[in-house]
Each structure stands twice: as structure tokens, then as C-alpha cells.
Amino acid sequence: MTKRNKRRKVGKNESSVHKRRRTATPLKTPLKTSLKTPLKASLKTSLKASLKKTSAKPAKRVISDDSDDCDIDLDGSDSELVAIAASVDTYLDDTLDSMDSQTQAVTQRHGLTDDLLVTLSVRELNRRLKMSGLSRQEVIKMKQRRRTLKNRGYAAQCRNKRLEQKGDLETDKVEVVTNIRQLSEANNKIREEVTDLRHKFDAIIEFAANNGIELPQDLQEFVDCEHIMQ
């Protein structure tokens, strides 16, 4: 066999291998499609069911020409959405209360009260949890309860401090208002006295002028200054 024939044979073998590879690769696409199709169908079904529950009427989408924002009109289904939100909140509250009661039962069973959970150091708490033989999930729940109790304590401290500051500020406000009222009354009293003295002084000056009585020099200078200022 010549070199030319060998090259042709090798080229044919390589081309057949490439053809097999090309024909083998498209088999992945139907597999992906077969896997994605049920997922898409289930997602569409769940979304349709949730939309039917939330609103009886289809939502209208209004798109403005000036911006890309979209406003959705639910055609009076706000009350239904509020009811759904309230039911969800109630469910979450009940779930959290049940979880809290379960964790509290676990802590009390192993001698770890809420006071101990809050006051123990992290090192001592880890040592006790390690010796208690609790599962990993129970340990996580107890640490979460410790964090929750600490947060509640911080919130209570902040609330008490705010109330104390509010009481102090209200007391200071009452004192300031009382001082302002007293100063205002004293100012009015002094103003009345000044007005009365001015009337008496004007009467004396008028009497002296009518009877030709000469005023003292200091008093005359004061009267002249009063006339200039007026």
C-alpha cells in the first residue's frame, strides 16, 4: 500500500469519527428538554393556581409612554390581598410560637433556663451543649433562642431607656413652662409699675410747669432727654 492510499484511509477514519461525534452530541438536547418540560409544567400550574386564589379578575397592566414603570390594577381585589396577607401573618406567628415553645421545652428538659441562656458566656454555653448530648438541630435551635432572648432584652432596655428619657424630658418641659409663666407674670407686674411711675412723674412735671416751680438740674436734664427721645 502506497503512502497516498494510507493517507486516504486515515482521513476516512478521522472523518467517520467526527461524524459519529456530531451525531452523538445532539442526543443531549432531547434529554434536557425532557427534564425541563415537567418542571415548567409544574411551575406554570402552581403559578396559575396562586393567581386564581389571589384575584378573581385578571390584572390590567398599564404601561406609560414616558417611563418603563408598569402600574398594575387589580380591579378591586385589594381586600382579598389584605385577607391573604393577614392569613399568612397569622400562620407565621403560629409557626414561630410553636417553634419557640418546642425550643423552650428542650432547654428546660436539659436544665438550661432562659436566664441561663442569656447570662452564660458563649464558651460555657458551648461546653454545656456539648455535654448535653443534643442533636445538631436542637443545638442550633437553642442558640437561636439565646439570640432571640438577647434581642428581646436589648429591645426592652432600649424601650425602658426611651421611656425614662421621655419622662425626664416631660419633667424638664413642665419646669421650663412654669418658669416662663412666672417670668411673664413678673414682667407684666414690672411693666405695670413702670407705667404707674411714668404717670406719676408726668403729673409732677406738669404740676411744676403750671405753678412755675423750677426743677432740679438733674431732673431737668432727664426731662430734656425724654423729650429728645420722644
Q: What integer pLDDT is reported at residue 141 of this predicted model?
A: 84
How far is residue 55's CA from residue 78's CA, in Å, rounded to a whole number? 9
Q: What integer pLDDT is reported at residue 171 of this predicted model?
A: 93
Nearest to 59 by CA among 50, 68, 67, 85: 50
Q: What share of the chain is helix, strand, coil (3-state, %, to 5)?
A: 80, 5, 15
Q: What integer pLDDT is reported at residue 170 of this predicted model?
A: 94
Answer for the pair 149, 114: CB distance below 8 angstroms, yes or no.
yes
How far is residue 208's CA from residue 48's CA, in Å, rounded to a whole number? 106
- Whether pTM > 0.75 for this model: the answer is no
How far is residue 77's CA from residue 57's CA, in Å, rounded to a whole number? 8
Q: What residues in the chain have per-residue pLDDT under 50? A: 17, 21-37, 39-40, 43, 54-77
How far is residue 74's CA from residue 87's CA, in Å, rounded to a whole number? 19
| Domain ranges across the chain | 176-229
Q: What integer pLDDT is reported at residue 59 of this predicted model?
A: 42
Q: What integer pLDDT is reported at residue 179 of this predicted model?
A: 96
Q: What integer pLDDT is reported at residue 184 of this predicted model?
A: 96
Nearest to 103 by CA among 159, 72, 146: 146
Sequence-distant (6+) residues with CB within 8 A of 222 are none
Sequence-distant (6+) residues with CB within 8 A of 63 are 70
